[in-house]
Chain A
Amino acid sequence: MEISARDARKASSQSKQKRKISKIVIHCFIIALGVVMLYPLLWMVSSSFKHPAEIFNSVSFLPSEWTLDNYTQGWAGVSGYTFGLFFSNTLLIVALAIIGNVVACSMAAYAFAKLEFKFKPILFALMLITLMLPFHVTVIPQYIMFNYLDWINTYYPLILPKFFAVEGFFVFLMVQFMRGIPNELVQAAEIDGCGRIKTYWYLILPLSIPALVTTMIFTFIWTWNDFFGQLLYISDIKLYTVALGLRMFLDSAGESAWGPMFAMSTLSLIPLFGVFIFFQKYLIEGITTGGLKG
């Protein structure tokens, strides 16, 4: 009896040990793969502080001599237009796109989630279909329309559509969220004399802040990274965004200026990274909403 108990204890401590070892192995593997994944990024950042000659023939991580030349050279930009201008242009577009998406998508989502009206199921189905629609089937007539309005080479084509809730993903995300707000709350607000508009403003919007923040973050990232739209509609260097500035840099400087290009590329990723660090929770929620509750 005693012996078998000791055996059992021994066996269990052995299996515990085995589990511990397997955990360590997994950790090592995940860390190693993580290093491989991040290596290109870290290498780019460190290269942005290297002298040009060193970028080409060194795999080594740290610069042998740190320099900020790439940053000053890169920041000077092209044809007298600095990356400072490109950054402020991009920020302007991003800020307006965020406002547009939050306002228009939250209004549509409130209607779909909390209001009753005729043809709602059909319209909701339409909204879901737009989620899957490749934008290429609309982009050519849109371009022609914006051209007709004389809006090519302005920010209108990049911003105005957001004020009309064209990104169904956000409407969908907010509908999912608002459905979780208890109807009793909405009814209580109405009994207290809130009309539908006041209910939206004083009850639904404040309660939906997590979904609104998620929308802001994704709008930020997508607009910041958007290249196709900016390439299509903006040709005047004065109006260039960071993405277009980088592209032009690549064209004009060619392969000779990797250092400055890496410096500006690094700078262009910092806002994304910052948003990610501060709002990780909302970002992860946003990614999983579609996948699990949809």
Chain B
Amino acid sequence: MGKFKLFWKDNGIGYLFLTPWLIGILTLTAIPMGASLYFSFTSYDMFNAPTWIGFDNYTSLFSDPKWLQSVKVTVIYVFFGVPLQLAFALFIAVLLNKGIGGLRVYRAVYYVPSLFGGSVAIAILWRQIFGGNGLVNNILGKFGIDGINWISTPSTALYTLIILMVWQFGASMVIFLAGLKQVPIELYESAKIDGAGPMKQFFKITLPLITPVVFFNLVMGIIGAFQAFTPAYIVSGGTGGPLNSTLFYTLYLYQKGFTQFAMGYASAMAWVLLIVIAIATAIVFATSKKWVYYQG
């Protein structure tokens, strides 16, 4: 038998089942990644052939005020939104885990916003709620407070989107709940006998034992938040306004690539995003040795 025949006899069936995935990873992931890396060193508008310009795209990013602004907006969004969302999720999960009953109903109620959160419908709702004539100002009006138009005020617009992210804490809460269920109940009983109060129990038992879940939620939250797009697009009508205060990184990438057809520039932006996400994840991984506690 030839070499190929032998290889096929041992591995053929495995590769047969893997064929769709292999084609996918090659044509829709690997080759596009190579292509986008190449484009990132070119000036390319889709209509004329790409011309090689070396690192120009990358260097001009740093003198592009809009790019710097989009980085700032996204970093604020990630740094405030993710920890706040996780804190809420953990807080509610701990309460629900106290054996109070009604768990299924409560879990459903808190999960629903996560289910809807990424939709255009909710972004539209948010635009109304925080608008000048919106629900928030109507409620404030009942207390005699004149609200501003939160969406069109540069200093507040981004924070309405952070509230939207925090509102969707349900998915991470579900993961926290599952993690909390795995903490052995005997630990709490012996802690009670030793006279540890609820706070002490939380910080000495619960938190250390669920750090792997905190870690998972943190990594996933960071990766997801860096890529957020829909809320900013809908709430700002695709502009990232007012005054670029909601110009998410991905929104600027979209504008550059698909409305201005600066494909090379947008590719460079995509690679910087990849690197930033990788670094952020790596930092969490590196510090995790200090704070994530694995049993056994």
Mark A residues whose CB is within 8 Å of B: 23, 26-27, 29-30, 33-34, 37-38, 40-41, 43-44, 56-59, 103-105, 107-108, 110-112, 115-118, 120, 123, 126-127, 130, 132-145, 147, 161, 163-166, 171, 196-197, 200, 221, 224-225, 227-228, 231-232, 242-243, 246-247, 250-251, 255, 258, 261-262, 264-266, 268-269, 272-273, 276, 280, 284, 287-288, 290-292, 294
Contact = CB atoms under 8 A, between A and B. Distances in A.
Contact of A136 (B106, B108, B227): B227
A140 B138 contact: no
A210 B4 CA distance: 38
B48 interface: no
Contact of B258 (A120, A135, A232): A232
Given A41-B112, A57-B138, A144 B120 contact: no
B87 interface: no
Contact of A164 (B17, B28, B217, B229): B28
Interface of B: 7, 10-11, 13-15, 17-25, 27-29, 31-33, 35-36, 39, 46, 92, 95-96, 98, 100, 102, 104, 106-113, 115-116, 118-122, 124-125, 127-129, 131, 133, 135, 138-139, 142, 167, 171, 174-175, 178-179, 182, 213, 216-217, 220, 223, 226-227, 229-230, 233-234, 237, 250, 253-254, 257-258, 263, 266-267, 269-271, 273-274, 277, 281
Given A117-B15, A247-B234, 15 more contacts: A59-B135, A111-B17, A111-B21, A112-B18, A117-B13, A127-B25, A132-B277, A136-B269, A136-B274, A140-B35, A165-B20, A165-B21, A251-B237, A262-B128, A288-B174
A227 B230 contact: yes
Given A166-B28, A200-B17, A255-B131, A273 B100 contact: no
B29 A26 contact: no
Nearest to A57: B138
A243 B231 CA distance: 12
Most chain B Cβ neighbours within 10 Å, of A26, A117, A123, A251: A117
A291 B175 contact: yes
B120 A134 contact: no
A225 to B, nearest CB: 4
A265 B10 contact: no
Contacts of A108: 17-18, 20-21
A56 B133 contact: yes
A110 B16 CA distance: 11
B14 A115 contact: yes
A265 B125 contact: yes
A35 B120 CA distance: 22
Contacts of B174: 284, 287-288
Given A40-B129, A40-B135, A140 B116 contact: no
A291 B178 contact: yes
Given A140-B266, A164-B21, A247 B120 contact: yes
Nearest to A119: B11
